[in-house]
Structure 1
């Protein structure tokens, strides 16, 4: 079997019901130049059995299945990256699915424009009703994800679909894990990669997205409460971006202090601005108190 160009990986935890839509969309792809890698994050439903059935069907593409102990989305990324052997990778969550020609458009675009100068491609996510989530990307050949994060462009940030060179993923993976914490956003790795590389812009719908109430996109205060060291680690990365505005950095210092308070310890920030650190401390303490109050009945 010829080596494929892209790995579509799907971290899944008890999503056998929603993964069917993902699978059917992959079966409809106009180009089957991909591997579907399913990372089962300790599911207790019938995910394994359903995937085994799909692997026996004549669907035109290879399905790989890996079962691991439940550890959260970032550990699913770690497992996928460790086991991928294609040129590119993209995550399609268990409750999302691709437009029928997404793989063909992605690969054609990369073959025409890609090189080792770029980290990959960034495109758009759409809601199931056919609207772009957030604003389109800047009308230019490439963009840096850090610039998007810090607000360099006059657009509303939304969900993006990142297609990443596998070798660059492997260079920054695995993400560290903190005991008992499962909400470490894998976008951390995309930003690490963006410290050296830009992403090609493909202002097209590359994925249909449906948010689940229990997903990472919901209950952000609960995530702050349950994974404070993980969020402190993200704030430390944000604070290392020299091109960020003062307003952006003050906000990150506040969140950093809040995470430290929730973790019950100093979270190892280095090369900090003493004035901003002191100025943000009382607000960060208030934010941590607010998070504790708002999540006191839902901590798990």
Structure 2
């Protein structure tokens, strides 16, 4: 069996998915499976993948089609179908960095027996080659994801998890009528028990799309308030700093108000703070609606 599953959630990304595929074909080490989870695409994603499966590319390709439900539901389906020791998500508009699979394998053979949840590596801008955010401090050998950011870290990082560990915490919840729950939910729960082995190398070359979730966040707040409120509750339960706790509480109040949840104070893990932050939650809600040009 292969060591690694590279999984790619895809929703109408037939225009960018070929470069993801090409980056995998160019990997020196082919000790991986590529799993594409098609989240209800209406373009020719299926036809592209079926064509690639018939080519001699040196690695196995698996394809699963599901009804559109959002990125987090595609991750749920992926984790249910991954059987390799490790897994990593490479989005459908990104490229796996040159030599990344070999770097992952080499690092993991050193860290495998030390009870790590997996590896944490770097993302780089596809067009400039610059590291996204900051790289890791010199000499840092292990960290949690939350601990990295709490100590001043910045920018998206590439996470390579043990499959048994990622499946040891609950799946992403699904809220009726909503299609977004932050992926950090699972990572936060894992942080409470395990650390990640630091791999100070670029594992993924990224390009943020104008219609991607990172660029539509204010509308996401309005469309998925229950999902955001849920995520803020988790963050408030496991705060990484006092400043971040207050920020998350304000967002929790705002998302709960948008969702029309009258019980949000009693459901909060920080009830007193939630009462104090409610006025700021109202203000944030007004800002969000203005940003979305709904007022």
The TM tier, using the shorter chain, reads: over 0.9
Aligned partner of 1:281 among 278, 282, 285: 278
Shift of 1:249: 1.3
1:73-84 matched pairs, under 5 angstroms: 73-84=71-82
Shift of 1:201: 0.6
Q: Distance in 2 between matches of 1:270 and 1:280?
A: 12
Q: Deviations over 1:123-180 (max 9, x none)?
A: 100001100000012331100112134x2x133x101000000001111242111111
1:77-156 matched pairs, under 5 angstroms: 77-115=75-113, 117-128=115-126, 129-139=128-138, 140-149=140-149, 151=150, 153-155=151-153
Aligned partner of 2:218 among 199, 211, 221: 221
Query: Does the Cα contact within 8 Å between 1:41 and 1:71 map onto a contact in 2?
Result: yes
Query: Does the Cα contact within 8 Å between 2:5 and 2:88 map onto a contact in 1?
Result: yes
Q: Distance in 2 between matches of 1:57 and 1:296?
A: 48
Q: Distance in 1 between matches of 2:134 and 2:250?
A: 27
Indicate the larger mover: 137-146 or 117-126.
Answer: 137-146
Gaps spanning 5+ residues in structure 1: where?
Answer: none
Indicate the larger mover: 11-20 or 245-254.
Answer: 245-254
Q: Deviations over 1:56-113 (max 9, x none)?
A: 0000100000000000000010000000000000000000011221000101100012
Indicate the larger mover: 177-186 or 203-212.
Answer: 177-186
Q: Distance in 1 between matches of 2:16 and 2:279?
A: 43
- The 3-state SS of whatever aligns with 1:126 is strand
Pair 1:231–1:285, CA change in 2 (3 A): same
TM-score, normalised on structure 2?
0.95
Query: How many pairs align?
Result: 291
Corresponding position of 2:41: 43
- The 3-state SS of whatever aligns with 2:22 is helix
- The 3-state SS of whatever aligns with 1:132 is coil
Q: Distance in 1 between matches of 2:281 and 2:152?
A: 28
1:263-282 matched pairs, under 5 angstroms: 263-265=259-261, 266-267=263-264, 269-274=267-272, 276-282=273-279
Shift of 1:296: 4.0
Query: Does the Cα contact within 8 Å between 1:78 and 1:173 map onto a contact in 2?
Result: no
Query: Does the Cα contact within 8 Å between 1:12 and 1:93 map onto a contact in 2?
Result: yes
Gaps spanning 5+ residues in structure 2: where?
Answer: none
Q: Deviations over 1:260-281 (max 9, x none)?
A: 111011346343241x222211
Q: CA RMSD in A?
A: 1.5
